[in-house]
């Protein structure tokens, strides 16, 4: 009897093992099948890649043209005209003059489905170009009362040209699209001239996310952190919120030879600058998120032997956590007021601007990872570090689910330590990378539509 029980037990165990192996095999097969479906080249995917290859030379030509003729924020008249004529020739419904010089195009697909928004920024920077390229900018203009050179030192020429290419690709498969695409060409991402409003915030105020309302929005930014063939992504907070800080310290003017007869706002301001540095170095848990408090300008006094009445300081605050941002604002006020009081001075603290954290919707990010991997390969898709730079794409992603990725454009063979950063007058990009940006935006658009239809 014991022998029979042993045999029965062994047989039962073997049967369970077989069932477990069978179920595990089915599960793995299901996962593999799901992965294959998500990453396989569908007919639409193949068509995107074909059309992207055909438009690549145009994208590079547009980029060079825009680069040679850069325009500052709210003054992108030539660029917006180029974009509008292109979208109109593609048969899109367009609106011009949005937020001063913005252009919005709507492509209605041949099948019902969601609305996907794609955004590119068009403005250049007050930077004098030093690249020596055949199409280098020689433009000069007046910015906030000063004569400046103008250059696309942040890659917005690339962004605009790539989105023009995406519009041509998707318009070429209009009848097959299960949804609509809203193309947003935005002015003044780098900021508006003094006294003017602009950028993403004004575009939203003027209805860019309505009629129809997009379900999601995608955007991208070039980076020299990666070479061509790489795309960086990060779920949740990826770029910092931005606030502008202004502090005015009021003292009592006196002769520089008799400082005890007045209150020196220069010394007080110096102590405030040092005190502000302790916020991030000693008062915050930086394992939560990075943060930066920078004073970038100090103005006070007119000559060596006069202690002035007041000193003005201007700086920037960068955070990737809302609670931390509120804490920093509170500590800035406390430190400034207490140091000023201890010196017999007074101070006014103004914190302005409300650019939120650029936030990548985690669910949307996860859905698009197979798409991005298909564009650049498994090794080409990298988890990006957080950036303490700000991006006004944040306003769109604060209103609807968004995903903002980074396209590698560092010239091939250039070591990372020798890469030229954005906003440099020496910035050069690998133009062969631009087709990857076209493919990424077009594929994310079509894949999202196919998932949600």
Q: Write the secondary structure of the chain as one string of H (helix), E (strand) and C (coil).
A: CHHHHHHHHHHHHHHHHHHHHHHHHHHHHHHHHHHHHHHCCCHHHHHHHHHHHHHHHHHHHHHHHHHHCCCCCCCCHHHHHHHHHHHHHCCCEEEEEECCCEEEEEEECCEEEEEEEEEEECCCECCCCCCCCCCCCCCEEEECCEEEECECCCCHHHHHHHHHHHHHHHHCCHHHCEEEEEEEEECCCCCCCCCCCCHHHHHHHCCCCCCCCCCEEEEEEEEEEEECCCEEECCEEEECEEEEEEEEEECECEECCCHHHCECHHHHHHHHHHHHHHHHHHCCCCCCCCEEEEEEEEECCCCCCEECCEEEEEEEEEECCHHHHHHHHHHHHHHHHHHHHHHCCEEEEEEEEEECCEEECHHHHHHHHHHHHHHHCHHHEEECCCECCCCCHHHHHHHCCEEEEEEEEECCCCCHHHCCCCCCCCCCCCHHHHHHHHHHHHHHHHHHHHHHC
Strand partners, 120: 185
Write down the catalytic residue from 49, 121, 129, 189.
Answer: 189
| Active-site pick, 71, 76, 123, 392 | 123
pTM of the model: 0.86
Give the model confidence (pLDDT) of 259-295 as tens digits.
Answer: 999 999 999 999 999 999 999 999 999 999 999 999 9
Q: What is the pLDDT of residue 20?
A: 45
What average pLDDT score do residues 9-15 get? Answer: 47
C-alpha 221/C-alpha 402 separation (Å) is 14
pLDDT digits (tens, 9 = 90+) for 309-357: 999 999 999 999 989 999 999 999 999 999 999 999 999 999 998 899 9
Q: Is 157 a catalytic site residue?
A: no
* pLDDT at residue 14 tops 60: no
Q: Is the model's pLDDT at 16 over the cut of 90? A: no
Instruction: Tell whether the model's pLDDT for residue 422 goes beyond 50.
Output: yes
Helix axes 322-343, 265-282, angle to 10 degrees: 150
d(CA 271, CA 201): 36
pLDDT of 82 higher than 80 = yes
Does residue 227 register a pLDDT over 70? yes
pLDDT of residue 322: 87
* Contact (Cβ atoms closer than 8 angstroms) between residue 410 and residue 430: yes
Percent of the chain with pLDDT over 70: 91
What pLDDT does residue 453 have?
Answer: 59
Q: Is the pLDDT of residue 12 over 90?
A: no
**Quick one: tokens of 332?**
């800035």
**Mean pLDDT of all residues in 20-35:** 44
User: Given this model, what pLDDT does residue 162 score?
Assistant: 99
Domains within the chain, CATH numbers bracketed:
43-239+357-452 (3.40.630.10), 241-355 (3.30.70.360)
Q: What is the pLDDT of residue 354?
A: 87
123 is catalytic: yes
Q: What are the pLDDT digits (tens) for 170-189?
A: 999 999 999 999 999 999 99
Q: Is the model's pLDDT at 212 over the cut of 50?
A: yes
Say if residue 34's pLDDT is above 80: no
pLDDT for 2 beyond 70: no
Please say whether the beta carbons of 396 and 352 come within 8 A: no
Please give the radius of gyration of the chain, using alpha carbons only, rounded to the nearest integer. Answer: 27
What is the pLDDT confidence band of residue 43, given thresholds at 50, 70 and 90?
confident
User: What integer pLDDT is reported at residue 9 of this predicted model?
Assistant: 42
Is a pLDDT exceeding 70 seen at residue 52?
yes
pLDDT at residue 452, rounded to an integer: 73
| Cα gap 44→178, rounded to integer Å | 11
| Lowest model confidence (mean pLDDT) among 22-26, 375-379, 416-420, 437-441 | 22-26
């Amino acid at each position: 009897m014991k022998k029979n029980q042993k045999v029965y037990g062994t047989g039962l165990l073997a049967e369970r093992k077989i069932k477990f192996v069978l179920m595990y095999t089915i599960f793995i097969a299901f996962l593999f099948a799901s992965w294959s479906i998500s990453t396989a080249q569908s007919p639409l995917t193949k068509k995107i890649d074909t059309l992207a290859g055909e438009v690549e030379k145009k994208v590079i030509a547009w980029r060079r043209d825009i680069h040679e003729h850069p325009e500052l924020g709210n003054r992108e008249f030539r660029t917006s005209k180029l974009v509008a004529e292109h979208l109109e020739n593609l048969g899109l419904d367009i609106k011009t003059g949005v937020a001063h010089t913005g252009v919005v195009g709507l492509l209605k697909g041949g099948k019902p489905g969601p609305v996907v928004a794609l955004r590119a920024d068009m403005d250049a920077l007050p930077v004098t170009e030093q690249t020596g390229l055949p199409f280098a900018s020689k433009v000069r203009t007046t910015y906030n009362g000063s004569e400046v050179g103008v250059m696309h030192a942040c890659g917005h020429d690339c962004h605009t040209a790539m989105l023009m290419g995406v519009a041509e690709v998707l318009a070429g498969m209009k009848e097959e699209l299960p949804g609509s695409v809203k193309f947003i060409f935005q002015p003044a991402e780098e900021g508006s001239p003094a006294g003017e409003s602009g950028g993403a915030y004004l575009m939203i105020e003027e209805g860019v996310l309505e009629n129809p309302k997009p379900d999601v929005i995608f955007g991208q930014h070039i980076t020299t952190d990666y070479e061509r063939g790489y795309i960086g992504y990060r779920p949740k907070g990826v770029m910092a919120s931005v606030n502008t800080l202004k502090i005015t310290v009021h003292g009592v003017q006196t002769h520089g030879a008799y400082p005890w007869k007045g209150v020196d706002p220069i010394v007080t301001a110096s102590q405030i600058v040092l005190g502000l540095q302790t916020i991030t170095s000693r008062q915050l848990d930086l394992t939560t998120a990075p943060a930066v408090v920078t004073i970038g300008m100090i103005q006070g006094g007119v000559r060596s032997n006069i202690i002035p009445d007041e000193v003005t300081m201007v700086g920037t605050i960068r955070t990737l956590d809302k609670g931390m941002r509120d804490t920093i604002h509170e500590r800035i006020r406390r430190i400034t007021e207490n140091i000023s009081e201890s010196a017999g001075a007074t101070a006014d603290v103004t914190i302005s601007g409300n650019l939120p954290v650029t936030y990548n919707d985690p669910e949307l990010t996860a859905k698009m990872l197979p798409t991005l991997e298909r564009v650049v390969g498994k090794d080409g898709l990298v988890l990006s570090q957080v950036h303490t730079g700000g991006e006004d794409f944040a306003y769109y992603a604060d209103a609807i689910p968004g995903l903002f990725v980074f396209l590698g454009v560092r010239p091939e063979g250039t070591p990372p330590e020798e890469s030229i950063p954005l906003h440099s007058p020496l910035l050069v990009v690998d133009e062969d990378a631009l087709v990857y940006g076209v493919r990424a935006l077009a594929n994310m658009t079509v894949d999202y539509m196919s998932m949600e239809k």
